[in-house]
Chain A
Amino acid sequence: MSVKLHIRSALSSIRRAPFQALAAVSVLGVTFFVATVLAILVYSSNQVLNYFTTRPQVIAFLKDEASLEEIDVLRAKIQGDERVREVNFVSKEQALEIYKEATADNPLLAELVDPSIFPASLEFSVSDLEFADQVIEEVKQDEIVESVGFTASIGSEDSLGGVVERLKTVTKYIRLGGLVIMAVLGVTSFLVLMVVVGMRIASRRHEIEILGLIGATRAFISSPVLIESVVYGFLGAFFGWLAALILILYLTPSVLKYFGEIEVLPRDMGSLLGLLGVIMLGELVVAFFIAIIGGGLALSRTGSRRR
């Protein structure tokens, strides 16, 4: 019905003042560019954190006399604990393989050892590092457990526990910083959109008055303005996202190479584009609401009253 008319009005209004339109789209574009980059940063930092937190953190070395049944019972018991995730059994033979891999540059070392000297073990990680001490103490009590090691206490100072804690702090600051930046950019975009829409309304004041006098409802008068506002929102979101997409596609190979086995970004193009597609959909929804609320607020200030 009159939807086509409203769309035509909105588009012709954009054509009439292209620089105002450009200003609105540019500011929104910058906002959504930063939003896309931040979203990817948050995703990547989560991936790094996830990589480290899902690595085995606790190793329970088992006594040589422990039978397979006893090991299964202990394994089931640990697996049933809510604080624990991903329990793996490492047999003596597997332990030797790990040793061989670790000493691959000096094969003689591996030739001198027999699997029997390596203890079998149960490796697992805890859902939160805060639980580690409690779980270690409980597992130590089991009869078939020789000793329990926490990877945070095995190795150098730059232990897994320390790395995870540091990553958590970094992730927290990325999220917090991202939220602050997005809030500032979001408010700026919102205000610019309101000013541009307000200018459009001012330039159409005569038309709005005439439409009101011939019986147009508030919704009829508002529609082209809101459509125009939504067009700015969508264009800004799309171009901001597109610029971020180009940057991310350009940087992805180097980033993946740098992080090695940590999959900070999806390795296959389909999944990467899927992730960016989801981000774009979210941004279009946000752009829609910014446009409708910004346009609506600008319109609410122009309401005519009966004299």
Chain B
Amino acid sequence: MVEFKKVSKSFGGIVALQDVSFKVGEGEFVFLVGATGSGKTTILRLLIGEYRPTSGEITFDGQRVDELKSKELPALRRKIGVVFQDFKLLSERTVEENVEMALAVAGIEASEWDRRVAEVLEVVGLSERAELFPSQLSGGELQRVALARALVTNPKVIFADEPTGNLDWETAEKIIELLVKINKQGKTVIVSSHHKVLIDKLGMRMIKIKKK
């Protein structure tokens, strides 16, 4: 499903990633582990084509991401549900509208929106918060809105970037449980994290990124 082959990324003289290689198969649950600044977010940005690798090959679903043209990127990004570290929610839209926006972007018929939004908010436990704005939510709730937005279009893979980073232990555990549940439904899940205790507790596959 996802393959990085000897991928390096530099910004001028600063090397963010060097010779990173890994594979993630369909339906897998993988933790991407590394210290802060080790390049986990860079891997996400390379995967969704926001960055172009300095060298190496990136393949997603049989498609060479590093060779895609800019106009081909939206289609790629719609296949990957991303939970960003800083959530990247639209502050002037409600929870419901944020999730709806992903459906609109994916070109899904408006008649489907209400049902799908209700379903996904039910899954992440935010049905009661649908009419609220991001500024009215807690950190854990924001994380779940971001997850709902990533899930609603039914993408092939979910990439969650540090989803537990700013959360208390209990909330972090709930978010990870949710991701495991989603994985059990057949989705490939990649979670970048430095939450060692939580990762060890789950005993899932880990890909370690060493800081250069």
**Interface on A for B, CB 8 Å cutoff?**
1-2, 4-5, 12, 206-207, 209-218, 220, 305-307
Contact = CB atoms under 8 A, between A and B. Distances in A.
A213 B50 contact: yes
Contact of B107 (A1, A212, A218): A1
Contacts of B149: 214
Contacts of A12: 92
A220 B107 CA distance: 10
A215 B50 contact: no
B105 interface: yes
B114 interface: no
B70 A306 contact: yes
B50 A207 contact: no
Given A2-B110, A218-B71, A213 B82 contact: yes
B70 A211 contact: no
Contacts of A305: 70
Interface of B: 11, 48-52, 70-71, 73-78, 82, 84, 88-92, 100-102, 104-107, 109-110, 149
A215 B80 CA distance: 9
Contacts of A2: 104, 107, 110
A305 B50 CA distance: 8
B165 to A, nearest CB: 18
A4 B110 contact: yes
Given A211-B101, A306-B51, A306-B52, A217 B110 contact: no
A216 B105 contact: yes
B188 to A, nearest CB: 17
A215 B77 contact: yes
Among B50, B82, B105, B109, max chain A CB count under 10 A is at: B105
B71 A213 contact: no
Given A2-B110, A4-B110, A305-B70, A214 B49 contact: no
Contacts of A211: 101, 105
Contacts of A212: 74, 77
B50 to A, nearest CB: 7
B61 to A, nearest CB: 14
A214 B102 contact: yes
A216 B101 CA distance: 9
Contacts of A216: 74, 105
A55 B119 CA distance: 80
Nearest to A219: B74
Contacts of A306: 49-52, 70, 73
A1 B110 contact: yes
Contacts of B77: 212-215
A218 B149 CA distance: 20
Nearest to A13: B92
A306 B77 CA distance: 14
25 contacts: A2-B110, A4-B110, A5-B104, A5-B110, A209-B88, A210-B88, A210-B89, A210-B90, A211-B101, A211-B105, A212-B74, A213-B77, A213-B82, A214-B77, A214-B101, A214-B105, A215-B73, A215-B77, A215-B78, A215-B105, A218-B74, A306-B49, A306-B50, A306-B70, A306-B73
Contacts of A218: 71, 74
A12 B91 CA distance: 14
Contacts of A209: 88
B104 A217 contact: no
Nearest to A220: B105
Q: Which of A207, A214, A305 has the most CB of B within 10 A?
A: A214
Contacts of A307: 11, 50-52
B90 A215 contact: no
B112 to A, nearest CB: 10
Given A215-B77, A216-B74, 15 more contacts: A1-B104, A4-B110, A5-B100, A5-B104, A5-B110, A207-B92, A210-B90, A212-B77, A214-B77, A214-B102, A214-B105, A215-B73, A218-B71, A306-B50, A307-B50
A214 B71 contact: no
A28 B71 CA distance: 34
A206 B70 CA distance: 19
Contacts of B84: 213
